[in-house]
Amino acid sequence: MTVDTRHEGHVAVVTFAAPPNNHVSVDLLRTLADAFDTLDADRSVRATVLASAGKVFCAGADLAPPAEGGPGVNTLALYEQAARLFGVAKPMVAAVQGAAVGAGLGLALVADFRVAAPEARFAANFVKLGFHPGFGISHSLPRLVGQQHAARLLLTGERVSGEAALAIGLADVVAPVDGLLDAAVALTATIAGNAPLAVQATRATLRAGLVEAIRAQTDLEAAKQAALMQTADFAEGIRAVRERRAGNFIGE
């Protein structure tokens, strides 16, 4: 797992890599939050880009328990770092080149804007796992796209392409994958070209109460997730995803 930062004028590009699928972990989110805290303290940086290496933006968390070869997930610790990311002071643009699934969608929703490739696939696939949404998605997604679009994404678990995401406000710009990072930097540079104190003050007003709402929502989400992790449907959902098939759920 690596997190690298480079500077282009007043823009900082933060790129993370956790091959092969850029799964989130507590360590990854903590390292990202530390990097953005450092950039918040750097007066030369006015806005940031969040990007990832490889073909997948972020495939979410690996929810399989250690008994099944997975790493196990401490959701409360994960969501504490997620709240830190939502609390970043400077504007952020996410460059989404491929799948942003589950917690990967949640990570993309941390940003103020999303620049997506046509090949991008946004999905809140939690119900396909017999699971409850996390990462504050049950708050951040309807806040962004509206209650009805969010309900469809959360209750169907369907994947949304870059163009379809643009149509519902989930993405702000669609750009070819080979020019995606340039497009994200260009949008970020437009923001960074404005008066930085005014930009940060305006953003703080637009996001007033967001961190507190995310903390409250992730507490609720974590409780729902803990209960659902004990069900047969959750175990079946994990097996089904690993075996690349539809789940055979029984409601228990």
Q: Which domain, by its residues, includes 89? A: 2-177
Structure pTM? 0.95
- DSSP type of residue 89: S
Q: How many domains does the chain have?
A: 1
**Which pLDDT does position 59 carry in this prediction?**
96
Residue 220 falls inside a structural domain: no
List the CATH number of the domain containing 35.
3.90.226.10
pLDDT digits (tens, 9 = 90+) for 69-79: 555 678 999 99
Residue 53 falls inside a structural domain: yes
**Which pLDDT does position 70 carry in this prediction?**
52
Low-confidence stretches of the chain (pLDDT beneath 70): 63-72
Residue 74 falls inside a structural domain: yes
Residue 86 falls inside a structural domain: yes
Residue 217 falls inside a structural domain: no
Residue 205 falls inside a structural domain: no
pLDDT digits (tens, 9 = 90+) for 3-57: 999 999 999 999 999 999 999 999 999 999 999 999 999 999 999 999 999 999 9
Residue 196 falls inside a structural domain: no
Give the strand pairing for 92-96 and 113-116: parallel
**Which pLDDT does position 241 carry in this prediction?**
86
Under 8 Å CB-to-CB from 6, ≥6 apart: which residues? 12, 13, 15
Residue 162 falls inside a structural domain: yes
239 exposed, middle or buried (CB, 10 Å; 0-12, 13-18, 19+)? middle
- DSSP type of residue 57: S
Residue 96 falls in which region: left (phi positive, over 0), alpha (psi -120 to 50) or beta: beta
